């Protein structure tokens, strides 16, 4: 993906059984998909239907392949092993069941970080999902959202000092 960002046009179509289909690429669609995928109440069939409606102005006939292409796009076009590592890095679920961030819960911190760091007003900007993710991941560690993510993922067992562990535990509760 990084090579495409530097040297080529970001994809706005996917190929399903040899036919190119336009897809909606705006970052808001990616955020909606992420929230949809994390929804534990909705059954898989309902999720798939909503995914198809979110991404395709014209839904392909092969629904299984169409869903695979949505996930490929959502995961920024990486290969399977690369995607597993990227997902681990993004959510760091190996230490905690909770994700490091939520686009819904953390919306104000993400918005303000983009405005401060890049001068981008996410409320008005149309931005490709891949570009959004690269900018999100590239936010400086000092940004409030990155600080929140760090504390959410902090491993209390690795903190030896009792007072520091207590302080970090309190911060984790707040964020």
Strand partners, 15: 20
Tell me, what's the pLDDT at 166? 75
**CA atoms of 112 and 118, how far apart (whole Å):** 10
Q: Which two tokens stand for residue 27?
A: 């970052």
The closest alpha carbon to 146, from 103, 109, 121, belongs to 109
Tell me, what's the pLDDT at 79? 56
User: Max alpha carbon distance in the chain (Å)?
Assistant: 61
Tell me, what's the pLDDT at 84? 52
DSSP element (H, E) containing 19:
strand 19-22
Reduced 3-state DSSP string for 30-55: HHHHHHHHHCCCCCHHHHHHHHHHHH
Q: Which two tokens stand for residue 16?
A: 């399903």
- How would you write the pLDDT of the chain (175 residues) with one tens digit per residue? 555 556 679 999 999 999 999 999 999 999 999 999 988 899 999 999 999 999 999 999 999 999 999 999 999 987 544 545 555 555 443 345 668 888 988 999 999 999 999 999 999 999 999 999 999 999 999 999 999 898 888 877 777 777 776 777 777 777 6
Q: Which residues contact 126 (CB under 8 A, 6 or more apart)?
A: 26
């Amino acid at each position: 993906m990084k090579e495409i960002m530097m040297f080529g046009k970001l994809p706005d179509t996917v190929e399903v059984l040899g036919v190119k289909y336009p897809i909606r690429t705006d970052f808001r669609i990616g955020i909606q998909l992420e929230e949809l995928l994390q929804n534990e109440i909705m059954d898989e069939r309902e999720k798939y239907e909503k995914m198809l409606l979110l991404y395709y102005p014209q839904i392909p006939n092969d629904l299984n392949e169409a869903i695979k292409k949505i996930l490929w796009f959502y995961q920024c076009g990486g290969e399977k092993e690369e995607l597993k590592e990227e997902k681990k890095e993004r959510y760091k679920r190996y230490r905690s069941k909770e994700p490091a961030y939520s686009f819904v819960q953390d919306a104000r911190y993400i918005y303000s970080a983009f405005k401060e760091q890049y001068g981008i007003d996410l409320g008005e900007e149309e931005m490709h999902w891949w570009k959004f993710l690269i900018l999100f991941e590239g936010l400086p560690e000092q940004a409030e959202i990155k600080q929140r993510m760090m504390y959410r993922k902090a491993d209390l067992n690795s903190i030896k000092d009792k007072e520091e562990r207590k302080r970090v535990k309190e911060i984790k509760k707040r964020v």
